[in-house]
């Protein structure tokens, strides 16, 4: 027989004995009937997933990833805890086809759920959780400490590391203060210089205004004088004639020099 044939035969046999398959029956039943069963099934699957994740977190080496995974697990747990009352209500409802005993069984299951949820490890110390858990769930007004019960005497004892750290911090603060003092002195000097410069400039502004007016006057007088001078010169001898005069004079001097050489 080939493999294909074996597979087909297996399928036939399964179909024949389906009614004995408890799992399938249950899932069929739940999908068609029961809100409670559905919710319960989803709960179970979520708890499974959370357990898996916490196992992975325990095996992780990178702290950041561990923290992230633990946070996820905690979120899931919180959500589940919220839904538990809903489940409880559903458990109380009478559904057709379920006996009274089954109802009670369901109710017990629901009660056991919170315990199971809390049991999922999420990176916090579980021992304290057990004791504090009851109180927390009973009255929701207490501030929840992550590690209560461990706040003993030696919790606040300064370890060597922390005291060293504190010393270093103090020293750095001192150095910073010294640096800031130096800066403040420099700024003081700057401020004084700036204010003195300010006053000096204020003093010189009117002086420069005076110079400005005087120079303006002098310039205008100079311009006038230049114009008059130009007029006078052109009056005496127009520029054309002046040039001719100069050239003739040069020629004369040249001739004289030639004659007397």
Partner 1 sequence: MSSDPDKLIAKADKLTKLSLTRWSADWKSATVLYEQAANAFRLSKKHEKAKEAFEKASKGQEMLSSPWDAAKHMESAATVAKELGNWREVADFYRRASELYIECGRSQPASDALAKGARALEDALPEDAVKLYIDACETLEEDGKEQMAFDLYRAAASVYLKLEKYTDAATVLLRWALAADKCNATHSQCKAYLSAIIVYLYAHDFQQAEKCHNDCCQIEAFLNSDQNRCANRLLSAYSDGDVEEIKRVAQSSTISNLDHAIIRHARKLPMGDVTSLKGAAPEEEPLDEDDLT
Which is nearer to partner 1, 3 or 208 (by Cβ)?
208
198 sits near partner 1 (criterion: CB under 8 A) = yes
Which is nearer to partner 1, 12 or 209 (by Cβ)?
209
d(C-alpha 200, C-alpha 196), whole Å: 6
Tell the smallest beta-carbon distance from residue 177 to partner 1 (Å). 17
192 sits near partner 1 (criterion: CB under 8 A) = yes
Inter-residue contact 77 to 118 (CB < 8 Å) = yes
Which is nearer to partner 1, 97 or 206 (by Cβ)?
206
Inter-residue contact 29 to 37 (CB < 8 Å) = yes
Segment interacting with partner 1 (CB under 8 A) among 165-173, 191-199, 232-240, 241-249:
191-199
Inter-residue contact 122 to 53 (CB < 8 Å) = no
177 sits near partner 1 (criterion: CB under 8 A) = no
Tell the smallest beta-carbon distance from residue 174 to partner 1 (Å). 19
Tell the smallest beta-carbon distance from residue 195 to partner 1 (Å). 4
Residues 6+ apart with CB under 8 A from 46: 76, 79, 80
Segment interacting with partner 1 (CB under 8 A) among 7-15, 79-87, 138-146, 185-193:
185-193
Which is nearer to partner 1, 130 or 192 (by Cβ)?
192
B/e letters for 149-164, b = 16+ CB within 10 Å, e = fewer, are: eeeeeeeeeeeeeeee
Using CA atoms, how far residue 185 sits from 180, 196, 197, in Å, is 9, 17, 18
d(C-alpha 146, C-alpha 128), whole Å: 9
Tell the smallest beta-carbon distance from residue 199 to partner 1 (Å). 5
The residues binding partner 1 (CB under 8 A) are 185, 188-189, 191-192, 195-196, 198-199, 202-203, 206
């Amino acid at each position: 027989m080939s493999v294909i044939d074996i597979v087909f035969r297996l399928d036939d046999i399964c179909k024949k004995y389906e009614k004995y398959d408890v799992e399938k029956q249950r899932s069929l039943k739940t999908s068609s009937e029961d809100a409670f069963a559905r919710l319960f099934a989803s709960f179970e699957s979520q708890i499974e997933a959370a357990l898996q994740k916490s196992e992975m977190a325990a095996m992780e080496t990178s702290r950041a990833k561990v923290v992230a995974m633990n946070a996820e697990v905690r979120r899931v747990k919180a959500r589940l805890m919220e839904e538990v009352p809903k489940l409880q209500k559903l458990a109380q409802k009478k559904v057709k086809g379920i006996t009274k005993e089954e109802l009670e069984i369901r109710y017990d299951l629901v009660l056991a759920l919170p315990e199971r949820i809390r049991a999922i490890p999420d990176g916090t110390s579980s021992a304290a959780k057990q004791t504090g858990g009851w109180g927390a769930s009973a009255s929701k007004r207490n501030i929840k400490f992550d590690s209560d019960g461990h706040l003993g005497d030696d919790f606040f004892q300064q370890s060597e590391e922390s005291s060293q750290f504190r010393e270093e911090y103090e020293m750095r603060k001192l150095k910073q203060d010294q640096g800031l003092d130096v800066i403040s002195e420099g700024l003081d000097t700057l401020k004084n210089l700036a204010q003195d410069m300010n006053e000096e400039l204020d003093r010189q502004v009117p002086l420069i205004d005076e110079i400005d007016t005087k120079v303006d006057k002098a310039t205008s007088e100079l311009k006038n004088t230049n114009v008059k001078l130009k007029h006078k010169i052109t009056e005496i001898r127009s520029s054309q004639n002046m040039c001719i005069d100069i050239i003739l004079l040069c020629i004369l001097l040249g001739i004289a020099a030639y004659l007397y050489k």
